[in-house]
Amino acid sequence: MTATAEAEPEVGAVESFTVTLKILRHDPDGLDGREPGTEYWEEFEVQAHATDRVLDALHAIKWEQDGSLAFRRSCAHGVCGSDAMRINARNRLACKTLLKDLNPARPITVEPIKGLPVEKDLIVDMEPFFASYRDIMPFLMASGPAPERERLQSPEDRERFDDTTKCILCAACTTACPVFWTDGQYFGPQAIVGAHRFIFDSRDEGEWDRLEILNDKAGVWKCRTAFNCTEACPRGIEVTKAIAEVKRALTSGEV
């Protein structure tokens, strides 16, 4: 009933190849005589198909070779934001990165995203990231009695913040930011994206509360426009542009 390549390998067979993954492991339990927290590289070889993603290769390792390999994943098609990781030195979602697009002739390196405490293998502590998101008050603020029907908003006003509504909180942008890596205080690009989504929403009245927060020394002025965040975003959000719009609002005093 399903469309699988295995059913009739001779017709329409999907190209198959061998790929090596070089994974940065982190052992929190201290097994095999290691100190708890030891980091080490480990290589795995897996058979892959042309349609396989890095997540498929990680599953092949976990399910067939080493069940202790730990990583987060859920939806497996780029909408839940669980599996951001550093693949060949670039932040990406493992479920959205096809192996064939990575030059499978060479080992593919896989590391946890940088700048957040590593908990085990590719799993990091997301709490500092979510704390920054909470800090910018990411919820609609509107005064007065709620209207009986919906608040009206023109398609043009709706379009103004469309790009930043796409954020899935995967942390690929924030953990690609060189300022975030070295500065423990910086909110990071995602928090600014999260704020942008409300600052430029015509229904919201909390824009100056948020802009005030982002005007802080841990805020938007830390950005050095390295563009790493925009390149890292798996949703194609123009993060650097959003940050620039927030900076402009602060300098001009107009939203």
Residue 226 is a binding residue for other proteins (CB under 8 A): no
Nearer to other proteins, 29 or 216 (CB): 29
At which residue do the structure tokens 């953990």 appear? Answer: 175
Specify whether the CB–CB gap between 52 and 59 falls below 8 A. Answer: no
Residue 35 is a binding residue for other proteins (CB under 8 A): no
Residue 120 is a binding residue for other proteins (CB under 8 A): yes
Q: How many residues does the chain have?
A: 255
At which residue do the structure tokens 């600014």 appear? Answer: 192
Nearer to other proteins, 100 or 107 (CB): 100
Residue 7 is a binding residue for other proteins (CB under 8 A): yes
Nearer to other proteins, 155 or 253 (CB): 155
- Contact pick of 24, 45, 73, 238 for other proteins (by CB under 8 A): 73
Specify whether the CB–CB gap between 199 and 210 falls below 8 A. Answer: yes
Residue 140 is a binding residue for other proteins (CB under 8 A): yes
Candidate ranges 16-24, 60-68, 109-117, 239-247; the one touching other proteins (CB under 8 A): 60-68
Residues 6+ apart with CB under 8 A from 32: none
The 10 Å Cβ neighbour count of residue 51 is 12
Q: What stretch of H or E contains 181?
A: helix 178-182
Candidate ranges 40-48, 61-69, 210-218, 241-249; the one touching other proteins (CB under 8 A): 61-69
Residues at the site binding other proteins, with contacts judged by CB under 8 A: 1-5, 7-8, 11-12, 27-29, 31, 51, 59, 62-64, 66-68, 70-82, 96, 98, 119-121, 123, 126, 130, 133-134, 137-140, 142, 146-147, 149-155, 158, 161-162, 165-169, 198, 201, 203-204
